[in-house]
A and B are shown apart, each in its own frame.
Chain A
Amino acid sequence: MNETAKGDGGRAAGKTASGHLSRREAAKVLLDDIGDTLIVAGLAGAKGDVLSAVGTDYPLVFAFGGAMGAATAMGLGLALAQPDKRVLVVTGDGELLMNVGTLATVAVANPPNLGIVCVDNEHYGETGFQQSHTAFGTDLATMASGAGIGAVRTVREADELAEAAAMLRQGNGASFVLLKVAVDDPPKVKTVWDAAYHKNRFRQALLGAP
């Protein structure tokens, strides 16, 4: 275990994880200079990380408010449909654990334009802040490698972020970054709940019609 970070109050008060990076700050580095990357943001904390990094006005992001477990597979369908665009999925440890088999599905399809970031705070922050399996030794990066994804990295330090960001933008095959972060409870990013609105805005920007 690396150094232990304490939560900074709110619902996360007293909760600890093995990571010490700030999720919002680390995600901002990974999502820097995003260009016209197509983004799928998993529910809860991952959604906040994405929207705080790219802004709620960025249209090429589909942000989940539910349907836990769907984000990675949705990114795969999007990557197969748009082979000339970069596609980035940002999800959390809890959501990825719910459908961890999707890592195998991604590895077999292996779209060269798909990158996956799992923001791992070792907790189910959206619900009761209970610990997830990753707090007890489950390593999602090892599982991604075992699934057959070729480009996999674990990031625990700020100086590892640039290399991970570059890997997510390479075109050799699907890539996976496990971002180990501290437990915190950053302010939520307010956005419209309506999934049809997000879908139509995304398609309007990408395809010219909803």
Chain B
Amino acid sequence: MSTPWQEQTYDLLRAAGVRQFAYVPDAGHDYLINRSLADGEVHAVALTTEEEGVALLAGAHLGGDRGVLLMQSSGVGNCINLLSLIRAGRFPFLTLISMRGDFGEGNPWQIPMGQSTQPVLESCDVTCLRIDQVDEVVPTIEAALTTAFQTDLPVAVLLGQRLLGAKKF
């Protein structure tokens, strides 16, 4: 099932030249993952851990490609040391993060990393752009693409649970 903002997000990524979609399985990114898997023009790469995606996208840039890492906030903690590759090499980096441990969370295991996601990313010099409302999606994704790929900086778009809805338990 998709909503228009998810379709718009995919179209914006593709229009900006994103050709590698690195992902870990995630309900919040279900639509983007399935679209990329069905798209013969892109590589959808299933990861075993999120940090692989950081390195994969640096390799994509080395080869002249653009990519995006689709992950959940809990995966951010797995990426930290490899973000040193992004900063040391001044690689562009774009990640879309579906938040857990956020607005309306009911699973206490998700709270710690959810609350740490943004401060931890910012401590690694990753610019965080947060989306909580549907009308913020298109301008925020556009802004993230511009900054990541025109200034070679790492950018994370945080998709909040006000936007995605909290998982029911």
Interface residue? B52 (CB, 8 A): yes
CB atoms of B65 and A104 under 8 A apart: no
CB atoms of A77 and B90 under 8 A apart: no
Known: A67-B88, A82-B63, A196-B88. 14 other contacts (CB 8 A): A38-B62, A38-B63, A67-B81, A69-B55, A69-B82, A70-B54, A73-B51, A73-B52, A73-B54, A74-B85, A77-B59, A77-B63, A80-B60, A203-B64
Assembled-state Cα–Cα distance A69/B58 (Å):
13
Considering only residues 22-71 of chain B, those with a C-beta below 8 Å from chain A are 22, 43, 45-49, 51-65, 67
B residues apposed to A, CB below 8 Å: 19-20, 22, 43, 45-49, 51-65, 67, 81-82, 84-85, 88-91
CB atoms of A77 and B55 under 8 A apart: yes
The closest CB in chain B to the CB of A147 belongs to B48
CB atoms of A207 and B52 under 8 A apart: no
A 76-107 to B, binary, CB cutoff 8 A, 1 in contact else 0: 11111110000000000000000101101100
What residues of chain B lie closer than 8 Å to A72, measured between beta carbons? 55
Chain A nearest CB from B126 CB (Å) reads 15
What are 6 contact pairs spanning A and B, CB under 8 A? A67-B88, A73-B47, A77-B62, A77-B65, A196-B90, A206-B64
CB atoms of A67 and B85 under 8 A apart: yes
Which of these, B19, B58, B64, contacts A70 with CB under 8 Å? B58
The closest CB in chain A to the CB of B65 belongs to A81
Main secondary structure of the interface of A (DSSP, over half): helix
What residues of chain B lie closer than 8 Å to A104, measured between beta carbons? 48
A 52-64 to B, binary, CB cutoff 8 A, 1 in contact else 0: 0000000000101
Chain B nearest CB from A97 CB (Å) reads 14
A residues apposed to B, CB below 8 Å: 38, 40, 62, 64-82, 99, 101-102, 104-105, 108-109, 194-196, 198-199, 202-203, 206-207
- A77 and B67 contact, Cβ closer than 8 Å, known pairs A70-B58, A102-B48, A102-B52: yes
The closest CB in chain A to the CB of B57 belongs to A77
The closest CB in chain A to the CB of B67 belongs to A77
- A70 and B91 contact, Cβ closer than 8 Å, known pairs A80-B20, A206-B64, A207-B64: no
CB atoms of A76 and B82 under 8 A apart: no
What residues of chain B lie closer than 8 Å to A202, measured between beta carbons? 62
What residues of chain B lie closer than 8 Å to A77, measured between beta carbons? 20, 22, 45, 55-63, 65, 67
